[in-house]
Structure formats: C-alpha cells, structure tokens
Amino acid sequence: MKKLFDKKIIVLLIIAVISLIGHVCIYPMLPDWIPIQWSSDGSVSNWGAKYMDLVLAALPILILLFMKAAPYIDPRRANYRKHPHAYDIVIVGVTLLLIVCSWLSAFSGLGYDVNIQTLIPAGIGILFIALGNTMPQIRPTYFFGIKTPWTLENPDVWRKTHKFGGILYCIIGVFFLLSAFLGSEVFVHGILVPVILGSVAILYIYSYIVYRKIQS
C-alpha cells in the first residue's frame, strides 16, 4: 500500500489547513448567525451559530484524514493497491468540494451575494461524473464502493455492479449540472430527487439479479 501521506495528499492537506487558517482570520468579522443550508431556489433554509464556520472549515481536514486512514483498518486493505488513482480522485474531489462549501457559507455570512443554487449543484455534479468514471476500477472493500450483501459476497457481482453504477453516477452528475442551471423547485424535487433515489434502488436490485444469475 502507498505511504499514508504521498505528495498529492500532503498538498491537499496544506490547502485544507490554509483554508482553516483563513476561516480563523475572518471569524471576528462574521455575524452571530451564518447560513449553513439553502433550498433549491437559493434562499437560506437553515442558520447556524457563528462557531459553525470553524466546524465547516475543519471538516475537510477530518474527512481527508479519515479517508486516508480507512484503507489501513479495512480487512480488504490489499484491494486498495488495485485502485489507488480511483480512491485518490474521491479524496481530492470530496475534500475540495467541502472546502468550497465552507467558503460559500462564510462569504454568504459576510453579506456577499453567492450564487449557491448554481455553484453547489455544479460541484456535486462534477464530483459524481468523476466518481462514475472511476467506478469500474474499484475493487471490493468495506469502506469504498457500492456495498450490498451480494457485491460483498461475490467479486463478479461487485465488478458488474460498479460498471453499471459508473453509468448511473454519470447520469446523476449530468442531472446535478442541469439543476445548477435550471434551478427550479419542480426540476429538483420532481426530477433530480427521484433520479437519485431511483438509482440507489436500481443498483441494489441490479446487484441481486446479477448474483442470482451467477449462482444459477
């Protein structure tokens, strides 16, 4: 297995730490309450106490450290050697998205007009498309990938489910990108949410069907 902190992860960790320091610097300027959640039309739907800015700023570091430590406690740790680039893409994508979200919240709290309804769905869409392109590379693990009773039981079920799942993830990513530019309540709740929930159900059922075919 690769070293716990290779150059790529060290650079990412430095970026996350610099981001946290930036949040600490602007902390005195923040109001007592900051926006932490938005509805699909861009209006604030939930507020958090000022300290939540630091929580959101620290979250990328904590998630990064956990994701790097996870392979070392996974009983199937050897399989991470077979998809190192796929796992790194996930780590980088998730960490950067969390950093961006923390700053969107901070800038919004400072009174800047932040186009949340476009930036966040676009970021999530790009991440899903990136994940979709890496899914076929992923080997069976307990922390990473599509885990159903049947994918964990049979490597062939895992492989076929992740190949199919990669297509669905890309489709979800495209729908997120569409929601970023359409941004209507009807599109988000009438199309995007059903697509996400439907994809989860389809993957679960698909893995079972593949398992039954292999067993028969």
pLDDT-based confidence at residue 53 (cuts at 50, 70, 90)? very high
Q: Based on the domain organization, do 102 and 123 belong to the same domain? A: no
Shared-domain flag, residues 123 and 191:
yes
Same domain, 42 and 101: yes
Residue-wise pLDDT tens digits, 133-154: 999 999 999 988 999 999 999 9
Residue 81: pLDDT band by 50, 70, 90 thresholds?
confident
Task: Tell me the average pLDDT of the chain.
Answer: 89
Helix (H/G/I), strand (E/B), else coil: 35 = strand
Q: Band of the pLDDT at 57, cuts 50, 70, 90?
A: very high
What is the number of other CB atoms lying within 10 angstroms of the CB of residue 135? Answer: 21
pLDDT at 87: 87
Last residue of a domain, one of 112, 137, 159: 112
Residues 125, 152, single domain; the answer is: yes
Q: How many domains does the chain have?
A: 2
Instruction: Give, for 64, the enclosing helix (H) or strand (E).
Output: helix 52-73
- Cα 113 to Cα 107: distance, rounded to the nearest angstrom: 8
Residues 133 and 184 in one domain: yes
Looking at the fold, whether 95 and 8 belong to one and the same domain comes out as yes
Domain end point (choices 58, 89, 112): 112
Distance between alpha carbon 204 and the CA centroid of its chain, in Å? 19
**In terms of pLDDT, which residue wins out, 109 or 2?**
109
> For the chain, how far is it from start to end, CA to CA, in angstroms?
36
Check whether residue 101 and residue 138 sit in a common domain.
Answer: no
Q: Is the domain of 3 the same as that of 108?
A: yes
**Given pLDDT bands bounded at 50, 70 and 90, which one contains residue 91?**
very high
Residue 191's pLDDT is 77
Last residue of a domain, one of 112, 147, 178: 112
Q: Where in the sequence is the domain holding 11, given as residue range(s)?
A: 1-112
Say whether both 104 and 155 belong to one domain: no
Query: 41 to each of 15, 33, 91, 184, 196, how far by Cα in Å?
Result: 30, 21, 29, 7, 19
Long-range contacts of 124-128 (CB under 8 A, 24+ apart): 124/97, 124/173, 124/176, 125/172, 125/173, 125/174, 125/175, 125/176, 125/177, 125/179, 125/180, 126/93, 126/173, 126/177, 127/93, 127/94, 127/97, 127/173, 128/169, 128/170, 128/172, 128/173, 128/176
Evaluate if residue 3 carries a pLDDT over 60. Answer: no
* 69 three-state secondary structure: helix
Q: Are residues 31 and 18 in the same domain?
A: yes
Examine the domain organization and report whether 120 and 85 are in the same domain.
no
Same domain, residue pair 90 and 137: no
